[in-house]
A and B are shown apart, each in its own frame.
Chain A
Amino acid sequence: MAMDASEIESMIKDALPDAQVRIDDLRGDGDHYAATVVSSAFAGKTRVQQHQMVYAALKGRMGGQLHALQLTTQTP
């Protein structure tokens, strides 16, 4: 089953407390999301590392329950 946008957001915020998270439901089907995550924790990290931090926050759901999450990461 797919995940709720609010659940994705709260998991990311649990791991990255200062993060501003915006989740867009791309197709309105609760299964294709775009997430934009802005956090100072990304400073000095490569983009791959930044995305890995978000995936870690999602505790293994990425690639399983969450097939389609378009991810954009930025520092404030």
Chain B
Amino acid sequence: MSEKEQTFERIREELAGNEVVLFMKGTPVFPQCGFSAVTVQVLSRLGLKFKGIDILSDPAIRTHLKEFSDWPTFPQLYVKGEFVGGCDIVKEMYQNGELQQYLTDKGVAVQEA
């Protein structure tokens, strides 16, 4: 298996094992980029449990996730294996209430603070 296929497989495993996954720069506690920080903030406000994966410390994912998602930047949010979008989309969906509705429809518990 090529490194790309191995990485795709790892990404699929993360998505299968975690309802909400955020591929980001840095960690949820210490984001290393403003866009990642904003996205973490939105998820936290919704009281969501999510797995943060630091692409800065995982060069294979950093390289291949762009192709996996057909999305050129980070962060990238996945819910139940489905790609939701990057920071701008998450923020916009949160502000107009769409994100809360989307999560509820997906059966993901939301506890808005």
Contact = CB atoms under 8 A, between A and B. Distances in A.
Interface string B63-81: 0001000111100000000
Interface residues of A, number: 14
Q: Is the interface of B mostly helix, strand, loop or mixed?
A: mixed
Contacts of B66: 63
Interface in A58-76: 60, 62-64, 67-68, 70-72
A67 B34 CA distance: 11
The number of chain B residues touching the other chain, given as a range, is 10 to 19
A1 interface: no
Nearest to B72: A63
B92 interface: yes
Contacts, number: 30
A48 B83 contact: yes
A23 to B, nearest CB: 14
Q: Which interface residue of B70, B86, B88, B92 has the most chain A CB atoms within 10 A?
A: B88
Contacts of B88: 51, 70-72
B85 A62 contact: no
A63 B71 CA distance: 9
B73 A72 contact: no
Interface of B: 35, 66, 70-73, 83-86, 88-89, 92-93
